[in-house]
Amino acid sequence: MIAALSHRAKAAPAGELAARLSAASVVRADEPLAGRTTLRVGGPADVYVEPADEADLAAGLAFCRERGLRWLLLGRGSNLLVRDGGFRGVVICLAQASFARVAVNGTTLAAGAGARLKTVAVEARRHGLGGLEFLEGIPGSVGGALRMNAGAMNAWTFEVLERVRFMAPDGAVHERPAAALPARYRGCPLFTDHVALEAVFRGRPADEAAIRQTMETFNRKRWESQPPQPSAGCMFKNPAAMPAGRLIDQLGLKGARVGGAMVSDVHANFIVNEGGATAGDVLALITRIRERVRSERGIELETEVEIVGED
């Protein structure tokens, strides 16, 4: 009875939002999020929306503003930990085709925020555009990569970025050169409340076979050094002193467990879901790691993964 009532309470804003958007937009109430994250834990979103286009995205943001609802941009969920109680507000996902276009023009490649990074890397290769190979192994979307300044293999997103189109919270669309945006290691704070729409990446002409080989080398390195189980990638930012993985490994925490969550025995900066983990398990393990690192090394580990929602 209580569950039914609470579902109805959440269905109301979802219904009102749907009425504001075109029929091609997807709007759902009480949408499970665990399956939309790579860690595969966490509760539902009160409202979940896949806008059909930029006009519907702007209308969705306006709805949230009017109602005082929190919103969260969900990419491919590879850097996200949703708490078990779920997200009170509106989760927006640019999963529709209009946000996923990828086009090469000379030595630049334009990609919608919803496009997969793997698609970007493969399209760049197909057009003989080098320098974007590192994106291949990052299990995220273009929008997520902008938000996180995602990186791998000693390269990072803003390094190969020329310009970005994005939507401000008031629905206005802007375009800025990458150099004008405040990016840093594993983050670009602008995208906490602005929505990336499209990125233009810069490559350099290269031989397709050489690009393929670089991608294969990166792929092999990743399989050798990172675990295959569900995870959110690296859990902590690397502190200045040394990489978090080495630090946690040195403290003997590989294999440490809470419920179904475990510090990977392949890479100590990965917490893997061994099956049946809850967000609570993962959070308890994060706390245990941070306490050990603080007490034994005096270092304050900061999560790289974004933690959202209610307990």
Residues near ligand EPU (CB under 6 A) are: 152-153, 225, 233-234, 237-238, 243, 245-246, 249, 267-269, 304
- For ligand EPU, which is the closer residue by CB, 28 or 237? 237
Give whichever of 51 and 137 is closer to ligand EPU, judged by the CB atom. Answer: 137
Report H helices in the chain: 2-20, 54-67, 117-126, 142-148, 208-225, 244-250, 279-297
Nearer to ligand EPU, 104 or 305 (CB): 305
Nearer to ligand EPU, 52 or 279 (CB): 279
Closer CB to ligand EPU, 163 or 267, in the complex: 267
How open is the CA angle 140-141-144, to the nearest 5 degrees?
85
Q: Residue 265 CB, nearest distance to ligand EPU (Å)?
A: 8
Beta bridge partners of 164: 176, 199
In the complex, least distance from residue 27 CB atom to ligand EPU, rounded to whole angstroms? 31
- Rounded Cα distance, 155 and 149, in Å: 10
CA atoms within 13 A on the CB side of 225: 14
Report how far residue 1's alpha carbon sits from residue 169's, in angstroms, rounded to the nearest whole number.
37
Question: String of b and e for 27-49 (b: at least 16 CB within 10 Å)?
Answer: bbbbbebbebbbbbbbbbbbbbb
End-to-end CA distance of the chain: 22
Q: Give least dist CB 86 to ligand EPU, A.
A: 23
Q: Tell me the closest approach of the beta carbon of residue 196 to ligand EPU, in angstroms.
A: 18
Residue 203 or 245 with smaller CB distance to ligand EPU? 245
Angle between helices 54-67 and 2-20 (to 10 degrees): 130
Nearest-approach distance from CB 112 to ligand EPU, in angstroms: 22
* Distance in angstroms (rounded) separating the CA atoms of residues 267 and 134: 19
Q: What's the DSSP call for residue 115? A: S
164's tokens? 């970005």
Cβ distance to ligand EPU smaller for residue 99 or 156: 156
Alpha-carbon torsion 20, 23, 28, 32, what sign? negative
Closest approach, Cβ 106 to ligand EPU, in A, equals: 28
Q: How far is the CB of 279 from ligand EPU (least distance, A)?
A: 18
Q: Which residue is nearest to ligand EPU (CB)?
A: 233
Distance CA 90, CA 61 (A): 9
Please name every residue paired with 307 in a beta bridge, in sequence order, or none if there are none: 81
Q: How far is the CB of 59 from ligand EPU (least distance, A)?
A: 33
34 or 152: CB nearest ligand EPU: 152
Longest CA–CA separation in the chain, Å = 63
